[in-house]
Structure 1
């Protein structure tokens, strides 16, 4: 048996290459065949903290300072060209394989990925009820690279400030840096635990909730030269770490519990493997990490991580599968490895050319190379977006002609016609055709609890109507706004995503929706102060639960009690029956199929008769049923009167809502005697 020597401070440690290989293989394999997250990304975050902290503190000890420009230049030269190449190829793939309604969002995320803020774009979508749930972005994996990019900007400041303080106090930089990193670790981990518990979807992409993983890697970098575990301990650490790392994704649902304290599992597993080091023992776990094939995979892990996800997304889109088949998944991995093997040497050669000669010219060439890669990409994405915007504006100019775009009027008149003009809104940008209240920040998000009120119309109006409820109340706003303008009413918007106007406990994506309960309590206080003449809200809620043979539309528990509370405040209620839910993304369906293939039956999501008809309602309640303005008696079509009805799987477009405003007005005035 060879002698086991303690880990030493060296620039290259072969077991780290092997650890990278294991991490990237876990990420790819779990994505491809299991549709799960493995915890491998957390290992990359820890390794980044380990390597960057070690590099920066050695620079401080060698030169007395950190050359920030040189540091960032080296990183830009090494990371940006490969990332931009993958983004560019992915955009070509998006044009070929993704339906047109997803192009705009894909372009937005391409720019966010190139500029290293994709994690925040995904965080916003994660708490946005209107964000598409089914469409997987080919740039989604760039979230972790964005977090790392933000870390690269922050960490030199952390190390530099620690070094400056150490110099002022005459102390060793490493000791001061240990204190700083312990503080970052403790604060970030505490924040991560709290925010993960409060809003895990946001926390997953939050840089602040991930900083502790980098700090843990930094602490390990400072501790490794001092560590010399005995032989048996190192063998146990290596195997314990490797087994724990591989089993993490099997035993934990990483995507729903990370980061928080659960992310200590893969990060501490990586700490154990690095602490064990290269033992040289035939019994050591590093025997699996240090063979040449593993070290080679580790050396191309960055490019492999970048390539595997878009290739998988396009494969799934092309085949219509949700998970790869054994053979298809093997092809995805093989192609990913091949592309990584080709692009990594190219990037390495570019880096070598940039560094050739050293000195100031090398520091200038690195950012110049990064800009040379970024500028064409940003130019192309900008031009593509501008072209889509121009086409959308051209189409919107046509919408004012009621003969070409009657929308709901076609259902009122009962006459169908054929139209030579394109459907509006354009399915490619239908997800932008939402009430203006979203853009103006007037609708509370899933995570928020504050009651946001936005008022439209004259303050001294004779009548005030409050629109209250969730997103299925919100999509009535465009029609109500037109009616309010015609009658001089004041319209008050009080909306929160996925939150019904009731005190009864609610759930969102399977979890208790406590934010909704708190918001609802605040809404009643707001209405008591505001004293509107009427509240316009949904009177039922529709569902796609067909276990009983038809849609489970219900009069929600607590609705009537809430309306009685409003009656005590002398506030009228207009309870509108909820709208149908096709249950699939209508614009995406139209991008690939004929309109006749994108229909749904009303009873798929609605009861055969409105639950409001036989309900014992307070005297202050008027009911409306406008289902016949959205669907035919036996069919919900995606396009009515040349106007797209749904912008997703259940929300009505603003354009269509405006076409039904005149009929809503007539029925509203009849029902209420206003």
Structure 2
């Protein structure tokens, strides 16, 4: 039986190298670094960067060998091969994580879990995490069990881009009619990608490191480095001893990277050159049949190679297992033995997943021989995830609609299932309905942010500089409004937009807001080491917002006038100095007063060291179903309601732990400044997490708009009275 004659090699082709078993061993080291650092050290190791470079090294080597032997790239075929191998195991892990997560994780995280499942399946998880990381208001106290798919998403995007780059390289080579070897063209192309991406990475990391960490553009240079190494490594020829020294130096440097460098806080800028160069050193050291004395002696040991062959599966399974276990342990870290059990369990599952899915797919020639079969594998993988996520989302939506119908029916009958702050009003005579679900519902949390109806960043109110990213207004024309109010500040000012917007709609006020996360209103000197309120971005925003306010000339400015500190059961009994007036606020208030613009300062609400909503959610009795079809149902509902109140109280703190005994705003009150204190409605005795069957907080420190809605009559009355007093003083001063 004769085979077809092989195609002639292209000019400049090099001999295909033998299989590099030491690179499998290097994968084992990289994945062990990732897992060990995650489980025991709670930090990032640099192992992911090693994976990125290794994947590019192997992919580029394969693409170049194909071009040199056949003169073609086969873009579509390469895409199918890549994702046919990557997606099946990933889909199984995604589906299993969703199923387990729905049992282990709080219901308030299920929407997030499904969102991350779709992003992981579509290889866009890095962009989802980048968007969440860029959101100052996002609660990041609990990592997604699918968060680790960010690096696989970057890799998947590169696996789409790299064959296209090779297609470009091939076109350039053909246009040059062989005058320039294809490898030199490829080196030039990837060198350009390396230089551009590294430059961008350094700048982006300095500007917004959290966003840059997940940015594909800031990571391309690591892949380009692996590609360049794949194109030139065959020309590197060194004696045995120098190669061994280089290899061991690189391996030791890779292992030490996460201990020496702040990977999570400093990558992927120039610091990421450390693991990239370390991997390059190890690969160069094994670039010869004679690997005596080098790290290949360790990397090619059978047990190391076995782990290396399961490295992809181990990376997939270890993180969801770790996150779910930590959730069950209420965030308590693992000790040495517990961590070892998690690691060994993950290795066993990874070996099973590799043996049952990954290895058989690689051996199935009939799949390799047909693109349609490869596409079928990809489609089945996507269908597996969809078969788990879609029914869960549909069931959750139906449950939400049923709960909302029950709530609407009760409210139509003027029965307060969730009275919230109303139970604290002096004229409250109602009663809450036992067994009613806590509001906001877990599925409603994403909507619990104050907002106004229009984005005025288009200059419709006033010309907005680039330093002021968020401008909202309620579309009431200035010449028709009874008064104009500007709400300004950080997320705690934003949450007040809900009740103020309701008052404005009733009273025909014009409301304009300028907001910047983690930036209180106040002129402060820049101190980048302290960050937060003291960063340059915040200073620039304050300077420009003051100018905008003076240009608008509102009847009043409303902002948050104090800053509380996070408290828990272990906090000192007396908050004392822990609630303060933001530095620089007095300077702004005085400047506005000189411009004839009064200020209304609202006292800050308590903050917690933990997620108050999840604390209540995980406590027994927080979400009774409201039914009483069983015998003794009324008694059961009353008991459930009592448990819910107990959970809300247990998840709160003592008032003296969260707030100063006397409001710091008292010292700022003047004819130009009105101070509003709603703390009795947050802390009637203690500062509970639930009042009137309503969750007061949606996370560690932000009030739910549902609770603020129940408090709106008080906020409206107090705000209207404060503005009337300020108007009266202004009129008296003008008459005098």
* TM score, norm. by length of structure 1: 0.93
Quote the residue 2:678 is aligned against.
626
Q: Is the 1:407–1:641 contact (alpha carbons within 8 Å) kept by the matching residues of 2?
A: yes
Q: Equivalent residue of 1:381, what SS?
A: helix
Q: In the TM superposition, what are the counterparts of 1:130-279 in structure 2 within 5 Å? A: 130-170=137-177, 171-277=180-286
Contact 1:564 1:618 in 2 (8 A): no
- 1:432 is aligned to 446
Corresponding residue number in structure 1 for 2:544: 522
Task: Call closer, same or farther: CA 1:439–1:347 in 2, change over 3 Å.
Answer: farther
Residue in structure 1 matching 2:698, options 642, 647, 650? 647
Contact 1:468-1:495 within 8 A present in 2 as well: yes
Other-structure match for 1:403: 416
CA contact (8 A) 1:443 1:497 kept: no
Q: Does the CA-based 8 Å contact 1:505-1:517 persist in structure 2?
A: yes
Distance 1:471 1:218, change over 3 A: same
Q: Residues 236, 524 of structure 1: CA spacing in aligned structure 2 closer, same or farther, 3 A cutoff? A: same
Which of 514, 519, 530 is the aligned partner of 1:499?
519
Match of 1:589 among 607, 610, 615: 615
SS in structure 1 opposite 2:73? coil
SS at match of 1:204: helix
- Aligned-residue CA RMSD in angstroms? 2.3
Q: For 1:390 and 1:509, locate their aligned partners in 2 and report how far apart those are by CA, in whole Å.
A: 49
Larger Rg belongs to: 2
In structure 1, runs of 5+ residues without a counterpart are 1-6
Contact 1:475 1:651 in 2 (8 A): yes
Q: Report SS of the residue matched to 1:493.
A: strand
Shift of 1:419: 2.1
- Structure with bigger RCO (C-alpha 8 Å, 6+ apart): 1
Structure 1 counterpart of 2:559: 537
Pick which of 284-293 and 541-550 moved more.
541-550
Find out whether 1:600 has 2:653 as its counterpart. yes
Give yes or no for contact 1:192–1:208 (8 Å, CA) kept in 2.
Answer: yes
SS at match of 1:647: coil
Q: 1:238: how far off?
A: 0.7
Any conservation in 1 of the 2:418–2:432 contact (CA below 8 Å)? no
Which has the larger displacement, 505-514 or 489-498?
A: 505-514
Residue 100 (structure 1) shift: 1.7
Is the CA contact 1:451–1:523 (under 8 Å) kept in the aligned structure 2? no
After superposition, give the CA deviation of every residue in 1:57-114 in whole Å (9 maximum; x if it has no partner). Answer: 2222222221112111111211100000011111122122212222111111111111
Greater Cα offset, 171-180 or 9-18:
9-18
Does structure 2 retain, via aligned residues, the 8 Å contact 1:407–1:642? yes
Confirm or deny: 8 A CA contact 1:196 1:204 kept in the other structure: yes
Name the SS of the counterpart of 2:394 in structure 1: helix
Separation of aligned partners in 1, 2:254 and 2:85: 28
State the SS of the aligned residue for 2:665.
Answer: coil
Q: How does 1:226-625 map to 2 (within 5 A)?
A: 226-277=235-286, 280-352=290-362, 355-356=365-366, 358-359=368-369, 362-397=370-405, 398=407, 400=411, 401=414, 403-413=416-426, 417-435=431-449, 437=451, 449-459=467-477, 460=479, 461-505=481-525, 510-511=530-531, 513-544=535-566, 546=571, 549-550=574-575, 552-593=578-619, 594-615=647-668, 617-625=669-677
Cα deviation, residue 430, structure 1: 4.8
Contact 2:418 / 2:439 at 8 angstroms: preserved in 1?
no
DSSP-derived class of the 2:420 partner: coil
**Partner Cα separation in structure 2 for residue 235 and residue 411 of structure 1:** 75
Contact kept, 8 Å, 2:456 with 2:471, in 1: the verdict is yes
Contact 2:87 2:378 in 1 (8 A): yes
Q: Following the alignment from structure 1 to structure 2, what is the Cα–Cα distance between the partners of residues 519 and 652?
A: 24
- Counterpart of 1:26 (choices 5, 21, 33) is 33
Tell me, yes or no, if structure 1 residue 671 matches structure 2 residue 696. Answer: no
Q: 1: distance between equivalents of 2:454 and 2:68?
A: 51
Matches within 5 A, 1:2-17: 9-10=16-17, 12-17=19-24
CA positional deviation for 1:496: 1.0
Contact 1:77–1:354 under 8 Å retained in 2: no
Using the alignment, how far apart are the partners of 2:494 and 2:404 within structure 1? Answer: 22
CA distance in 1, matches of 2:419, 2:678: 17
